[in-house]
Amino acid sequence: MEDKRAQWGSKLGFVLAAAGSAVGLGNIWKFPGKAFEGGGGAFLLLYLIIVPLVGMPAMLSELSIGRASQSNVVDAFGKLGHRGYTWVGWVSWLSAFIITSYYSHVGGWVLRYAVAYATQSQTVYADPLGYFYRMLGYDPVAESTSFPLVAIVFAAVFIAVCALIIIRGVEGGIERFNKIGMPALFVLLLILLVRAVTLPGSAEGLRYLFSLDLSKLSFQTLLTALSQAFYSLSLGMSIMVTYGSYLPSSEDMPKNTLLVCVMDTLVAMIAGFIIIPAVFATLGPEGVGKGGGFAFVSLAGVFQQMPGGAVFGLLFYLLLLFAALTSTISLIEGIVVFLTERYHWKRTPTTVCVCAILFLIGCLYTCSQAAYPIHGVWFDFANGLSFPAFGDAMEFLTDRVMIPIAALGSCIFVGWTWKPSAAIDEIQRDGIRFRLTKTFSFLIRFLVPAVILVIFAVSMFTGTTLS
Ligand code: PHE
């Protein structure tokens, strides 16, 4: 006899958990930087077209695979009678594994910054870049390197907290945590939004976000917007398959999908409207950086020049911490549930072991940032064989190869093998009304796979980063 699968305790629980997974580091530091590069308004517009046309059908498909199969991601395809697609599950599972190992370390850095703003904001202000590098084990003044103890210790704490929440289980842990964390995140965002748009000099940033410079609409911008949407909505990693499998059949999946996508997009937009005007106001347009440096270094200048900056700094990193926690939890949950179901391992020791392994792999990521010359191997047709930093190689592998392949696999599965009609039957079980059946079938059979294929091919041939 199989154990009864866990289910969400309430409708809100699922929506918040799925939104919690989607809303992560991607929304808050990746999105604003990309919106800036992509020309502000032009990028926002593209993103707003892509989410409903590509992101929503892909998410709905993943949720229906999960609910119909009532299974973890690796076994889901076999349970639906198509063992031939099991590899899609493996690719998703593995990319979740690799992503979590570094994502959780970045979560640790965020925790470090929350503590830093609470206790020593002046030290951060004095030398923002130096502070960031020192955390990672590199002293730019002495030009010496050392073991990045601070970053590693905070990463360990971050992962331990995630493990504790996961051990409590779906309803007790994840759901309860999200019920507090997600609304808190929204409130924090709104406070920061008000603060940012009322800073003197922020108007120029707002103008940039509302301007529609069509000459900025290039193929590259399209590509960036597409990949950002996939990453941000947690697609192609089968998180949504796992979460869908906990959904009772009375749930309206299209409505839930809509809610999650709207929340995720809203958070990304608000983050853009916080960060870009704030940086314009304090550092000028040259100050808008991206990636890790943006969230950790450039923003120090913003907080320093705000009245009550340390408090806003602390709030900001707490917010990022919530976002990172809920996303990491969703990733670990997907990894653990497969191991407990397939191999009948116990949940608690499995979670502890998985987290320990993730932490150790992540140490290589953190160490390769600045402290030690640890390299990975990478190949693309534009640059041939190269040996980027180990951390970069991990991100290339997942973002450029594994996510697109898994996402393509599951939408081809729904579009052509399992058939959209089977997904629609699952969606409409228990008499749920779904009016867009024709649109859904068209998108999932033609538009979504074509788009993913193009992203994948272009990124392999031009070496473009996907996230
Ligand atoms: N969607 C999350 C973000 O925006 C990242 C994530 C990707 C989480 C895939 C889970 C699975 O940061």
φ, ψ of residue 380 to 5 degrees: the values are: -145, 165
Report how far residue 220's alpha carbon sits from residue 464's, in angstroms, rounded to the nearest whole number: 9
238 CB under 6 A from ligand 1? no
Ligand 1 pocket, 265 CB below 6 A? Answer: no
For residue 23, how far is its CA from the centre of ligand 1 (angstroms)?
7
Positions of E strands within 306-438: 378-380, 384-386
Q: Report whether pLDDT(285) > 70.
A: no
Q: What is the pLDDT of residue 346?
A: 93
Structure tokens at 189: 């965002």
Q: What is the pLDDT of residue 212?
A: 83
The predicted model gives 460-464 an average pLDDT of 67
Structure confidence at residue 446 as a pLDDT band (50, 70, 90): very high
The structure tokens listed for 113 are 């910054």
Mutate to test the pocket of ligand 1, among 232, 320, 327 (most ligand atoms within 8 A of CB): 327
Residues above pLDDT 70, as percent of the chain: 94
- pLDDT, residue 175, reads 75
240 CB under 6 A from ligand 1?
A: no
Q: Which atom of ligand 1 is nearest to 323's Cα?
A: 12
More confident residue, 343 or 178: 343
Residue 1 confidence (pLDDT) above 70 = no
Q: What is the pLDDT of residues 309-367, one digit of tens each?
A: 889 889 889 888 888 988 998 889 889 989 998 899 999 999 999 999 999 999 999 99
Taking phi first (over 0 means left), then psi (-120 to 50 degrees means alpha), and beta for anything else, what does residue 5 get? beta
Q: pLDDT, tens digit, for every residue of 142-160?
A: 888 889 999 999 999 999 9
pLDDT at 398: 82
237 lines ligand 1 (CB under 6 A): yes
Highest mean pLDDT among 26-40, 338-352, 447-461: 338-352
State the amino acid at position 447 in one-letter form: L
For ligand 1, atom 9, the nearest C-alpha belongs to: 234
- Least Cα distance to 447 among 53, 38, 19, 43 occurs for 53
Q: What is d(CA 78, CA 96) in angstroms, rounded to the nearest whole number?
A: 20
Q: What is the pLDDT of residue 377?
A: 81
How far is it, in rounded angstroms, from Cα 1 to Cα 428?
28
Listed residue (135, 160, 155, 159) closest to 145, CA to CA? 135
At 466 the pLDDT is: 41
pLDDT reading at 290 higher than 80: no
pLDDT at 375 over 80: yes
Element (H, E) at 441: helix 437-442
Q: Choose the weakest-confidence range: 52-61, 349-358, 392-401.
A: 392-401
CA of 21 to the centre of ligand 1 (A): 6
Is residue 275 a contact partner of residue 205, using CB atoms and an 8 Å limit? no
Q: What does the pLDDT read at residue 54?
A: 92
**Domains by residue range for the chain, with CATH:** 11-462 (1.20.1740.10)
Lowest mean pLDDT among 273-282, 408-417, 426-435: 273-282
- Taking the CA of residue 233 as reference, the ligand 1 atom at the shortest distance is 1
Instruction: Calculate the alpha carbon distances from 167 to 56, 114, 222, 289, 337 in Å.
Output: 30, 25, 40, 38, 11
Residue 168 pLDDT > 70? yes
Question: What is the distance between the alpha carbons of residues 277 and 209, in angstroms, rounded to a whole number?
Answer: 9
- Ligand 1 pocket, 295 CB below 6 A? no
Phi and psi, residue 269, nearest 5°: -65, -45
Are the C-beta atoms of residues 85 and 405 closer than 8 Å to each other? no
pLDDT attached to residue 199: 82
Cβ of 24 below 6 Å from ligand 1: yes
Token reading at 436? 């867009």
Question: What is each CA distance from 465 to 22, 220, 343, 381, in whole angstroms?
Answer: 20, 10, 36, 13
61, pLDDT greater than 60: yes
3-state SS, residue 247: coil
CB 101 within 8 A of CB 365: yes
pLDDT at residue 80, as a whole number: 92
Question: Is the pLDDT score of 384 beyond 80?
Answer: no
Q: Which tens digit of pLDDT belongs to each residue from 253-282?
A: 999 999 999 999 999 999 999 888 877 877
Ligand 1 atom having least distance to the Cα of 22:
1
Helix 309-343 and helix 11-22, axial crossing angle in degrees, nearest 10? 110
Question: Distance between CA 185 and CA 264 in Å, rounded?
Answer: 12
Overall average pLDDT of the 382-400 stretch? 79
pLDDT mean over 152-178: 85
Q: Kindly report the backbone phi and psi dihedral angles of residue 39, in degrees, each rounded to the nearest multiple of 5, phi listed first.
A: 90, 20
- Between the CA of 343 and the centroid of ligand 1 the distance, in Å, is 26
Question: Which structure tokens are listed for 285?
Answer: 């347009």
Q: Which atom of ligand 1 is nearest to the CA of 331?
A: 10
Asked if residue 289 has pLDDT above 60, the reply is: no
Give me the pLDDT at residue 425, please.
Answer: 93
The verdict on the CB of residue 26 being under 6 Å from ligand 1 is yes
Question: Is residue 231 in contact with ligand 1, taking CB distance under 6 Å?
Answer: yes
Cβ of 239 below 6 Å from ligand 1:
yes
CA distance 55 to 440: 11
Which is more confidently placed, 233 or 227? 233
Closest-lying ligand 1 atom to the alpha carbon of residue 25: 12
Q: Is 330 in the pocket of ligand 1 (CB under 6 A)?
A: yes
**Amino acid 288: pLDDT:** 59
Q: Ligand 1, residues 28, 185, 227, 234: which to mutate, most atoms within 8 A of Cβ?
A: 234
Distance 306 CA to ligand 1 centre (A): 30
Which position has the higher pLDDT, 380 or 451? 451
Burial of residue 367 (number of CB atoms within 10 Å: 0-12, 13-18, 19+):
buried
Is 234 touching ligand 1 by the criterion CB < 6 Å? Answer: yes
Cα 329 to Cα 337: distance, rounded to the nearest angstrom: 12
Length of the chain: 467
380: β partners: 384
Least reliable range by pLDDT among 98-107, 214-223, 242-251: 214-223
**What pLDDT, on a 0 to 100 scale, did the predictor assign at position 433?**
87
Ligand 1 contact, 178 CB (< 6 A)? no
pLDDT, position 316: 84
pLDDT at 35: 87
> How many secondary structure helices (H) and strands (E) does the chain include?
24, 4
Task: With cut-offs at 50, 70 and 90, classify the pLDDT of residue 179.
Answer: confident
Ligand 1 centre distance from Cα of residue 22 (Å): 5
Query: Which of 40, 234, 453, 53 has its CA nearest to residue 31?
Result: 40
User: ∠ CA 88-92-97 to the nearest 5 degrees?
Assistant: 150
Please tell me the distance from the alpha carbon of residue 437 to that of residue 343, in angstroms, as a whole number: 37
Give the pLDDT score at 165.
86
Counting beta carbons within 10 angstroms of the beta carbon of residue 455, is it exposed (0 to 12), middle (13 to 18) or buried (19 or more)?
buried
Report the interhelical angle of 86-119 vs 403-412 (nearest 10°).
130
Q: What global pTM score does this model have?
A: 0.87
* CB distance 334 to ligand 1 below 6 Å: no
User: What is the mean pLDDT of the segment spanning 443-456?
Assistant: 89
Per-residue pLDDT for 454 more than 50? yes
CB of 331 shorter than 6 A to ligand 1: yes
Q: Is 171 left (phi over 0), alpha (psi -120 to 50) or beta?
A: alpha
User: 186-202: buried (b, 16+ CB within 10 Å) or exposed (e) per residue?
Assistant: bebbeebbebbbebeeb
